Each structure stands twice: as C-alpha cells, then as structure tokens.
Structure 1
Amino acid sequence: MKKLSLLLSVVIFLTLLPMTAAASGIQVILNNKPIVFSDAQPFKKGTDVWIPLRQSAQAMGMKIGLTKGTDKVQLTDSLFRVSLRIGTNAAVMNEEQTVSYGAAAISKANRIYVPLTFFSKVFGFETAYDNDRSEVVIGLPKNFDDIFAPTIVEFLNTGAYQQLSDNYFDETIKPLIPVKALQAGWEQTIATAGNFIGIHKIQSNTNDTVNKEINVTLNFSKENVALLIHLNESGKIIGLRLSPLQPEAALPAGLTEEDVTVGTGSAYPLEGTLTLPKNATGPVPAVVLVQGSGPSDRDETAGSYKPFRDIAWGLAQQGIAVLRYDKRTFVYGKSFTPEMLTKFTVKEETVDDAIAASKLLKGDKRIDPSQVYVVGHSLGGMLAPRIDNEGGDFAGLVILAGSTRSLWEIIADQNADFIRAMDDKDPKKKANETWLAAEKIRAEKLSSLSDKEAIEQTLFGIPALYFKEMDQHGAQSLVSRLSKPILIMQGEDDFQVFAKDYSQWQEHLKNNAKASFKLYPGLNHFFVNYEGKDQNTVEEYNHPGNVDKQVILDIGQWINKQ
C-alpha cells in the first residue's frame, strides 16, 4: 500500500523498501535483504540461475553440513530438516517427503550450487529473476504465516520459552523480552483468560510497510486473546505481544443481517453480509462497500479496526442497506499459481466482484435499483469510477481516502517519506534514494511497454502489468467526465493518501455541480480519530478505534438527499 507475493500480502499503498541498491553481477535479495557472497557468486547458465547454497542457507538462518566421504548435504533449522545429494535434483523434507526441484545440485570450485527452483520447490518460497536488473528475489512462502504462527504458539503453550528465544528472536529484542518475561506473560494470560484451547485465526497486517506483522487470534476458555508477532526482513521476531481481545460488538437494535454470496456461479464466489434496517418500508437505497488493496475480509479488518462493519451498521441505522463481502485475494489468494499472478490486475482483484455485488443488490426486491451507491476506500476509492463505468452503473459514488493519480506515484511518494525519515548516517538511506530514483524512471516508461514486457518486469516489487493495466483505465479521465453525484472524503491525518490527492479531486470535479467534498481534521486513513502512542505510524491501527460517527452520518445524509 509484491515481488509477486507482495501483491497478495501487503497493502498496495504501502510497499516494502529494498534494503540496498543492486550490486554488480547477479544480486540475490532474500526476504527483502541482499545476500553478500564473499567468494562463490551466483551465475546464469542456460535458463537456470545458480545460487551458492552455503551462504544462502545461512542467510535463511539454517545450519548446513556435508557428510564426510559422501555428497550428502543437510540443512536444518527449527522448522525444516532438508537433505540432498550433489548430482541429484531431489531433496528429502523432514525425513518424510521427497521433493524434486529441477536441475541437479552441482559442485564447482569446492562450492555447492542449487538452481533457483530449489527454493521455490523445496521451501515453497516465492522466487523471481529480473534479467534486466540481474536480480533474484526470494520471498517468504505463501503459507509462511500458517507454518510460523502455530510454531510460536506451540513453544509458548509447551513452556519452551528458551528455545523460542534462541531460535526465533532477533538479538536486538532478546534483552527487551527476556525468557522470564515470556514465561510470565504466557502464565499471566492463562490466569486471566483460562486454559488455552487453540488458534482461531491467523492474518497478516497488510498495512505494515517495513516489517512483517502476523495477527493471531487465540481461543482460551474464558476469553479470546490477540497474539501480535513482528518480524524483521530476516524473518526474526522483533516484537511479541499478548493482549485481550475486545468482545465482538453486538448488532445494534433495529438492524438485521443475512449471509449472501457475491458472484454465485462464477469461478470465485465470495461470501458476504447484507445489513438491512429491520423495520424499513418499501425499497430502500443501498451501498456496495469496496475495500482497499491487499487481501481483506468483509469488515476490511486492519489491526484493531473494522471500518466496513462500522460503516454498514451506521448507514443501516439511517435506512440504507449495505453489502460488504470478503475480497477475492482474501478467500482465494493462496490458491493462485505464480503464472496466474503474473497476469493479475485490479480487474480480477476488485472490479469484477464489485460489479457483481452491484447486480446482486439491484436484483433484490427490497432494494431500490435506482438508488444503489458505491463507497470505495483507498484503492477501492481509486477504482470506484472504473467500477461504475464498466458495469456497476451506480446512482452515485462516495470516495474515502482515494486518489486520481497513478498508483505508482502514490507508492513513490510513500517510499520517499519513509526514506526522508531515515537517519542521514544510515548507509541504507543513500542506497534507497538511488533505488527510488531508478524505479521512478522505470515507471515513467510504463506506457511504452507491451503487455508481455510488463509481465516480465517488476516495479516497486510488483509486476509492472498491474500498474500498466490500471493506468490504462485511470480515474482522472473517468472522473473529469463524471456527471453523477460524487462525495469525496479525506482525513487530514492520513499519511497513506495525501492532501494533494484531495485537492486533485476538487480540480478534476470543478465542472461537476453534483460533487461534494468533506475534509476531517484529526482523522487517519481509516477515518479514526487517534492521538497517543504510535500516532502517524501503521502501529496506530493496532490501538482500538472506530470510524468517526460524523463521517458515517455525513455519508448517510448525502445518500438520503439524492
């Protein structure tokens, strides 16, 4: 807000920064951090890229050993035990599963090399090679959260606090969370929440731009508890926090909710919730809620926020039906193949499903088909004009923290802010400045690329086709021609979408007499009013908060006046 995987696990508006500029030869980036090869170097031969195994394994935090008198190599860490032989193309995982990985491992100048496919086939890592930049990118496996989080919970539940610290904690965090504090925290949680039952849900925080964040909901006999795990770019824990979860809010009186399916009969049906005023008479106006980028549930859950639930309940209390649904990448993201993802665009990610949601509402006899509106947040706000134009055919549009600019421009600005805040003495700052300048030059050439070229290249770690296709349906030209009612809303404390984005909406809509604008002091990207610790960082989203009531009231009054 992915290398390819970033598309599905990080908010598009926030993109991870590489930690250094590219070096000469083939550069290998592992989990967003370059591997420094002291002697053996990666090389390309034919269609394969060959990676020195020892230093790669060490960068992954694994121990490597070679059995004397044999060609057998062992790689071990707390999650994996892998053995392979030089001259073969198969590895044995955890002494059980044999996995083939393409070309056979080789020995060259007393150094062991494996093909890039070794990392994808054996460990399930996301891998990509950019020939133009001579850069290999190796990222965490798609199911990393589902493997990593249960492991951490198991260590806590079995009292293996020392092993957890030794194997998973970054050295910088060990003095801050000593083993005794780990033990005290878990035992105190049990004393308060009751006996541990199991894991209820695992979800990544898609708003974290610098480090990976995993949110785990734990079931205890008395109450649920949130486990927050922060990882650095090397996959080591730099933060661990247990906190009671707020009880699920009760549906307000006078409302009713029912389960619906968006896209019934399609390849990707999506479960959703339709919120209705219980005592409404006659067909009522309705709203389709469209989420921001990244995989998102129907509530658009982000940290401690559930903004779409807040909006749905608040609008229904004003006599407006609201449809919210799980996003396609949230439901099906892990099933998408690498080939599918290379061609993945916002049309598949958001547009098609929002159009299906509009048609679902218009076919409901309880809904006034001439009064169906779209409320798009963040990327959903950017795409709302396109959704309307390509089949949504809404009565009006509400844009929450959206933009008419190219997505890559917003990402560039966000990265520039992040780099600007770095310490001038940090050697990574200059490298990142150089990287950002190079990415902006590449972005400016997007329109000249063919679709095939765009698929084969990346921009800000994302396949360039994603940006190119979106630019071909830019919001700016659609908005300038728009004559329908449109309401633009922006929080002044939003550090993901900027004041100039709000101003540009005003400029593009200056000839639309039906355009309205609302700017809210003190509200952040999710229209929550927050002051305190972690303010103006993604961490502030972890502090409980709700969408400001005035914002929801303003949306409802605007719709009811149309």
Structure 2
Amino acid sequence: MKKIVAVVVLSVLLIANGFGITSSSTVWAASSDVRVILNGQVLNADPYSPYPNGSTVMIPLRESSIALKYKVAYQKSSDTITLSGVKQKIEYKVGDDHITINDKEKRDFKDDVVFKKEHLYVPLSFFTSLGLLTAYDADANLAEIYTPEVIANAIAGLLTTGQFQVLEDRFFSEELKRSISGTGLQQNWEELSVQAGNYHGVKATESNQKVDQFSIQCVLSFAQADASLEIILNKSGKIIDLREKLLLK
C-alpha cells in the first residue's frame, strides 16, 4: 500500500501545475529553444533539438519515443519505423500522413514529417494520434505530452488523498468551477469511498481524442469494489467534466 501511495504522490508532483512541472534538479534549455516535457520530464535530445514550425513544434522521433518507453525499430527494406509499447504496436511508413495501430487501426495526423540533420522529426500531432494528451504554448516555447495513465494517476491521487481544493484550483476549467465546487466533489467522493473501502490504485485506463477535448475512462480499484472515473479535458488540459461511479461486484 505504501508503494502505491508513493507512486500516486509522484504522479501528482509531475503534473501539479495543470499539465506539468519538472523536479527542481532539472536543467532547462535556453529560452530560445522549444522545451518538450514528456510525462513530467524535459526531453534532452541534443544535438537533435525540437524546434517550432508554424503552429506546431517538430520533435525528434527516436529520442522522444524512447523517453516515452517505446522500443524503436527501423526496417530499411520497407522504410517503416515500429514503436513497440506494452499495449500498442505503432507502425509508421516514412512519407505517410498516418500511423497504424496494432496492424489494423489507421490514424491520421496533421503537418508533415521532416528530415533534418539526417534525423526524422515528427509534428506534435503525431503523438496526439498515438492517443497521448498534447499541448503547445508558442509564447512559452513549451510543448507537453502525457500518457493517459499519468493524468489518471495524478487526478485519482488528489481525490483519494483528500486534496479537493488543490484539484479544483489546478485542474478545473472555469466552466467546471461554476458547476461543481471542491466541496461538492468532496461530498460525492466521500460517499463513494464509504462503500468502496480503501483505495488501491488505477486498474485500467482507456482514452479517446476529439478535436477539442480528450477523455479518459478509468477503473479504480478499492478494497470492497471497483469504481469508474471519467475525466474529460479541454485542449488546454483543464477538466471540463469529472464523473465517478461505484461498480458493484
């Protein structure tokens, strides 16, 4: 149980300011460079640094994929790059505008892939097509990429540790703040916790990306029963809807 709580707290710290912050030991890039944060950690891809390209940012594929825990392979005969993760196998044929997930599902992405310094750079939308939560602030020279599991663990962690006001202040959209307060959320959650028992962790996550929103469906494990938690975020990474429900065994 202590290990689970430690993981939850770590996840909360990684995205404590909405999308993310890094630890105090992180060395930031120069102010003129684009910073890319992957699950709370700054991408160090020297000498293949990310760079802005119009309304998006171009990111070195190999270095960023490895940082996201994918195994990267290149098949020269078919000019195909394969990213292998725990749940997914992603294939990208160089020159295409789409990826293939698990040999069957095709997903398009915006903007062109670029070769620079004989290195492959992909636009931020490439990672959106992988089912990751992405955002780019051109004024701050900052791009952020998060897996649904990290977001789900952080929000569930705030709920289960009773940090309802922190959750509201850091994650709620203005729209959600008007419709539900931290106090109202606390009451709903405490009623669920009485029936479910001690919290064990996030059991499973699924995500869905739309043009202007990103949804995460979670199954949370408790001692007495599981619960569902649906998190819907806008394109700025703020929660616009949060629904919890006890799943009776």
Please report the TM-score for the alignment, with normalisation by the length of structure 1.
Answer: 0.27
Distance 1:208-1:23 versus aligned 2 partners, 3 A rule = farther
How many angstroms apart in 1 are the aligned matches of 2:127 and 2:43?
14
The 8 Å contact of residues 10 and 207 in structure 1, kept in 2 or not, is answered as: no
Q: Does the alignment pair 1:82 with 2:90?
A: yes
The 8 Å contact of residues 86 and 106 in structure 1, kept in 2 or not, is answered as: no
Which residue of 110, 120, 129 maps to 1:121?
129
How many angstroms apart in 1 are the aligned matches of 2:150 and 2:36?
22
**Which structure exhibits the higher relative contact order, with contacts defined as CA atoms closer than 8 Å and separated by 6 or more residues?**
2
What is the match of residue 304 of structure 1? Answer: 198
Q: How does 1:146-165 map to 2 (within 5 A)?
A: none
Partner SS for 1:301: helix
Amino acid corresponding to residue 139 of structure 1 in structure 2: Y
Deviation at 1:65, TM superposition (A): 1.4
The 8 Å contact of residues 127 and 136 in structure 1, kept in 2 or not, is answered as: yes
How many angstroms apart in 1 are the aligned matches of 2:152 and 2:44?
27
Q: How does 1:326-365 map to 2 (within 5 A)?
A: 333-334=230-231, 336=232, 338-339=234-235, 344=240
What is the match of residue 22 of structure 2? Answer: 18
What is the match of residue 206 of structure 1? Answer: 158
1:366-401: per-residue Cα shift (whole Å, max 9, x none)?
Answer: xxxxxxxxxxxxxxxxxxxxxxxxxxxxxxxxxxxx
How many angstroms apart in 2 are the aligned matches of 1:68 and 1:339?
36
Alignment RMSD, CA only?
A: 3.9
Deviation at 1:132, TM superposition (A): 2.4
Give the % identical residues. 23
1:436-474: per-residue Cα shift (whole Å, max 9, x none)?
Answer: xxxxxxxxxxxxxxxxxxxxxxxxxxxxxxxxxxxxxxx
Which residue of 145, 148, 170 maps to 1:141?
148
The 8 Å contact of residues 291 and 300 in structure 1, kept in 2 or not, is answered as: no
Q: Of Structure 1 and Structure 2, which has the larger fraction of its residues in strand?
A: 2
Q: Does the alignment pair 1:72 with 2:24?
A: no
> Unpaired runs of 5+ in structure 2?
1-10, 162-178, 200-226, 243-249
Distance 1:127-1:60 versus aligned 2 partners, 3 A rule = same
1:246-265: per-residue Cα shift (whole Å, max 9, x none)?
Answer: xxxxxxxxxxxxxxxxxxxx
The 8 Å contact of residues 99 and 108 in structure 2, kept in 1 or not, is answered as: yes
Partner SS for 2:191: coil
How many angstroms apart in 1 are the aligned matches of 2:134 and 2:102?
22
> Unpaired runs of 5+ in structure 1?
1-8, 147-202, 210-268, 271-288, 306-329, 350-562
Deviation at 1:341, TM superposition (A): 5.7
Deviation at 1:332, TM superposition (A): 7.6
The 8 Å contact of residues 87 and 106 in structure 1, kept in 2 or not, is answered as: no
Q: Does the alignment pair 1:290 with 2:184?
A: yes
Amino acid corresponding to residue 90 of structure 1 in structure 2: H
What is the match of residue 64 of structure 2? Answer: 56
Amino acid corresponding to residue 138 of structure 1 in structure 2: I
1:501-548: per-residue Cα shift (whole Å, max 9, x none)?
Answer: xxxxxxxxxxxxxxxxxxxxxxxxxxxxxxxxxxxxxxxxxxxxxxxx
What is the match of residue 501 of structure 1? Answer: none
How many angstroms apart in 2 are the aligned matches of 1:133 and 1:341?
16
Q: How does 1:27-66 map to 2 (within 5 A)?
A: 27-66=35-74
How many angstroms apart in 2 are the aligned matches of 1:53 and 1:206?
32
Distance 1:143-1:107 versus aligned 2 partners, 3 A rule = same
Q: How does 1:519-530 map to 2 (within 5 A)?
A: none
Amino acid corresponding to residue 158 of structure 2 in structure 1: T
Amino acid corresponding to residue 18 of structure 1 in structure 2: T
Deviation at 1:29, TM superposition (A): 0.7
Distance 1:143-1:97 versus aligned 2 partners, 3 A rule = farther
The 8 Å contact of residues 90 and 102 in structure 2, kept in 1 or not, is answered as: yes
The 8 Å contact of residues 127 and 139 in structure 1, kept in 2 or not, is answered as: yes
What is the match of residue 101 of structure 2? Answer: 93
Partner SS for 1:291: helix
Deviation at 1:342, TM superposition (A): 5.2
The 8 Å contact of residues 135 and 236 in structure 2, kept in 1 or not, is answered as: no
Deviation at 1:30, TM superposition (A): 0.5
How many angstroms apart in 2 are the aligned matches of 1:30 and 1:208?
25
The 8 Å contact of residues 22 and 135 in structure 1, kept in 2 or not, is answered as: no
The 8 Å contact of residues 56 and 136 in structure 2, kept in 1 or not, is answered as: no
How many angstroms apart in 2 are the aligned matches of 1:39 and 1:120?
24
Deviation at 1:33, TM superposition (A): 0.7
How many angstroms apart in 2 are the aligned matches of 1:113 and 1:56?
10
Partner SS for 1:290: helix
1:338-389: per-residue Cα shift (whole Å, max 9, x none)?
Answer: 2486595xxx87xxxxxxxxxxxxxxxxxxxxxxxxxxxxxxxxxxxxxxxx
Partner SS for 2:158: coil
Deviation at 1:144, TM superposition (A): 7.5
Amino acid corresponding to residue 121 of structure 1 in structure 2: S
Partner SS for 2:63: helix
Deviation at 1:337, TM superposition (A): 5.1
